[in-house]
Amino acid sequence: MLNPTLITVILAASMIGALAGVLGSFLVLRGQSLLGDVISHAALPGVVGGFLASGGRGFVAILAGALISGALAGLVVQLLRRGAGVKADAALGTVLSLFFAAGVVLLSVAQLRSGAAGLTVFLFGQAASVLRADLMPMALVAGLVLGGVVLLWKEFHLISFDREAAQAQGLPVSLLETVLTVLIAVAIVLGLALAGVVLMVAMLIAPAVAARQWVRGLMPMVLLAAVFGILAGAAGAVISAQGHGVATGPVMVLCATALTAVSLLLAPERGIVARWTRQRRARRSLHGRQVLAALQGLSQAHDDPSYASAEGMLNAYLGASSQPVLDRLKGRGFIRQAAKMEPELGKDRRWELTDAGVLHLENKDETQ
Amino acid sequence: MPDLHEPQFACHVEDLTVSYRERPVLWDIDLDIPPGVMAAIVGPNGAGKSTLIKAVLGLVTPVAGHVRVFGLPVTQARRRIAYVPQRQSVDWDFPATVRDVVLMGLYGQVGWFRRPGRAHKARATAALEQVGMQDYANRPISQLSGGQQQRVFIARALVQEADLLFLDEPMAGVDAVTEAAIVALLKAQRDAGRTVVVVHHDLQTVDRYFDWLVMLNQRIIAQGPVAQVYTEDNLRSAYGGQLALIGSLGNAGDAASTPTATAGAGAQDA
């Protein structure tokens, strides 16, 4: 099954995935996911331009073209924001659409003229488009980008966590942010052939979000995101290379998103299952006596022995849903539901202690 | 050797003016804070208190005026200044432990392309001990309470061993025990010869905590030792008549005679 083409594809996808995971972590933590989407969509006209200019599949020309149109897009965004006062999300959305539309038109024109059917590769990615000859330049660029991240690690760490503190410490924050954005742009552009313009951003976001669920520090998050990126990239590329004509980008994204879903569900501290288990345990450990005492305490705080506590208020005090315990206590006759009062008809249940309940609470040698 | 301009002051501000969308937020600020004091900056909402600190630190660009710290421009005096911003300026869900955050206070000193070494890490641990958070060193910051977050922020500033500390509302939204601990910490810094400047939200505690006072409402209303500046007239000027006073402002520390500010902003509101 392992032929040279497959190995090439796996290597390329792994590099792209690792890079996307690393740079995507910063993108996600800084809340700039939309910017990543803009960079990848806005690269399309540049990609087509680079292809046409190099008269073929010149790796460097296409990369350069993508970077140039990405940079141009960034400039237009700044112009809209600073010059015209357009809000960030509207400016980004506008530029994304503008450049992508221009790119699609250019693509159609290019296809008509030079029969360059291979360019649709850049919309959704195609594993088969990666040539053995591309691997070395790709590895070189990827190495440079990762080297940049390593060298400027603590600077990127600080500006991502607390930009003002970085400024106050004298770091050249604007310059660092520009460098980081350039590195992100290079990572995106490098992956366009495999993942495609439309979905590349997901390869930056999904592994980072998945990794966040498992870690307590930035370094572990970045490393884990790289691992997830490699897994999703390689799996997606291999599956799509099986020759059924499925574009690579969507498959890679589905793999990455599956990893994210699993992480969101199963991660130990932050996972949904973990939280649900914690809440269940808190609910279970609520004792009847505790709830009775809380009800009594609440009525005492209101100086009114006939005060009936709202269940929502009781839950907030106890820190867990007391509904099963309340039903149990009601069954034993220690509490009763109070009549509903205007204006809260139909909402929360209200509970008050019965005489038996008061006795049970005061009777200290009686067991649960 | 650069020219020292007004080196006798820890912080010297002259003609400082800051605008936002062609409207002045701070105007014609002349401010001198002597070294070794614990100073409070007070004023109604929209007075420009946070902006003043940020303009001094160079986080915001003024349209006029200059700032000197110990006689030097701020860019040359960074090592001598530390800043504690408001808690909400940061996303506390960021993946970091308490120790990570404190260590980040030293990143500016570690130097380009280097990693924090053992000495830096030891300083971080010492700073955590100063604020009583050493047991939380490996705790993710998303699990901290407001008071704990504030202490971590202060530790991040203390680790820099700066001579001039700026804090933006460090005691806002913090429990009484933490507030007392923070005040004790800052007073200890002042007693050790450092200068502490605090944007303070609570008029009632000014004369108990601070020895120097700056009253601000887009312009400097008054500045100087607390006993001289903390007067009814100055408060009325700063708060524009929206101040409800209980009794007279007689002795410091006399609980019955402290003024309370109402929730309304002053006559000039931003």
User: What CATH number does the domain containing A300 carry?
Assistant: 1.10.10.10
Domain spans of chain B?
A: 11-230
Do residue B104 and residue A161 have CB atoms under 8 angstroms apart?
A: yes
Give the residue on A whose Cα is nearest the Cα of B88: A162
Digit-coded pLDDT (tens) for B62-73: 999 999 999 999
- d(Cα B69, Cα B253) in Å, to the nearest integer? 32
Q: Does B108 touch chain A (CB under 8 A)?
A: yes
Q: Does B117 touch chain A (CB under 8 A)?
A: no
State which residues form the domain around A264. Answer: 4-268
Digit-coded pLDDT (tens) for B121-139: 999 999 999 999 999 999 9
Closest partner residue to A168 (CB to CB) among B57, B115, B138 is: B57
Considering the segment(s) B11-230 as one domain, its CATH architecture is 3-Layer(aba) Sandwich (3.40)
Digit-coded pLDDT (tens) for B3-47: 788 889 999 999 999 998 888 899 999 999 999 999 999 998 888
Digit-coded pLDDT (tens) for A310-342: 888 888 888 888 888 888 888 888 888 887 766
One domain, residues A240 and A302: no
One domain, residues A111 and A221: yes
One domain, residues A288 and A243: no
From A235, A268, A301, give the residue that closes a domain: A268
Q: Which residues in chain B have Cβ-Cβ distances shorter than 8 Å to A85?
A: none
pLDDT of residue A91 exceeding 70, the answer is yes
Closest partner residue to A168 (CB to CB) among B83, B95, B116 is: B83
ipTM: 0.84
The answer to the question of residue A338 being in a domain is yes
The answer to the question of residue A368 being in a domain is no
User: What CATH number does the domain containing A143 carry?
Assistant: 1.10.3470.10
One domain, residues A120 and A136: yes
Confidence of residue B1 (pLDDT cuts 50, 70, 90): low
pLDDT of residue A114 exceeding 50, the answer is yes
From A207, A242, A268, give the residue that closes a domain: A268
Closest partner residue to B104 (CB to CB) among A29, A157, A212 is: A157
Nearest Cα of chain B lies from the Cα of A171 at a distance, in angstroms, of 7
- Work out the average pLDDT over B214-241: 88
Number of domains making up chain A? 2
Nearest Cα of chain A lies from the Cα of B96 at a distance, in angstroms, of 4
One domain, residues A182 and A301: no
Do residue A164 and residue B110 have CB atoms under 8 angstroms apart?
A: no
What totals of helices (H) and strands (E) does chain B contain, helices first? 9, 11
- d(Cα B101, Cα B124) in Å, to the nearest integer? 9
Do residue A218 and residue B100 have CB atoms under 8 angstroms apart?
A: yes
Confidence of residue A117 (pLDDT cuts 50, 70, 90): low
